[in-house]
Structure 1
Amino acid sequence: MSITESVKSAVGLAETSATRQEMSEARLPIQYRDSCAHLLIPLNRCRQAEYYLPWKCENERHTYEKCQYDEFKKRVAKMDELRAAKDGARSN
């Protein structure tokens, strides 16, 4: 494991199953190219196929939102861990 991979895993930004090439081909904006991008690609395809009807693609949307929520919880836990290591001192 390289230094970059170890830092990403420590922060909770592990590699996604979607490659950079796949994300580029799917025309995902940069801010959405995270660890849940592999779920966003089929969601966007479904949305386009179903003309963005809100009651369509519910399973894909809920799966993507669950992934985003889990990633948020990981970031919060990591931040709490870092604060505890600094005796509760804030970084700003």
Structure 2
Amino acid sequence: MSDAPEMKATQKQMADARIPLEYRDYCAHLLIPLNKCRGETFYLPWKCENERHSYEKCQYEDYKRRMRVLDKARLAEEDA
């Protein structure tokens, strides 16, 4: 997993933003401003569209990266 992206949010930043442990992934740096926007706008769906889109795109890209790693591991296991 050498192609894993680096964490951009520190543990302290995530703890200060009260991000649950299960959401502390490579996209947490985008979740912090999204949750702040949601809190300021009472979760109105049309208010934080850009932040939400950025976060969801990051989640999707991370999913695709993890699936590539899994496929490589499966191929290596089959070849062994």
Give TM-score, length-normalised by structure 1: 0.81
- 1:10 and 2:5 matched: no
Query: Percent identity, aligned pairs only?
Result: 54
Q: Give 1:37 shift.
A: 0.3
C-alpha distance after superposition, 1:17-71 (max 9, x if no partner): 1100000000000000001000000000000001000111000000000000000
Structure 2 unaligned residues grouped into runs of 5+: none
- 1:68 and 2:59 matched: yes
After superposition, residues 31-70 of structure 1 pair within 5 angstroms as 31-70=22-61
Q: For residues 19 and 33 of structure 2, what CA distance do their matches in structure 1 show?
A: 11
Aligned residues: 80
Give every structure 1 segment of 4 or more consecutive aligned residues whose post-TM-superposition deviation is greater than 6 Å: none
RMSD: 1.7
Structure 1 unaligned residues grouped into runs of 5+: 1-8
AA in 1 matched with 2:57? K
Q: Give 1:10 shift.
A: 2.5
Aligned to 2:69: 78
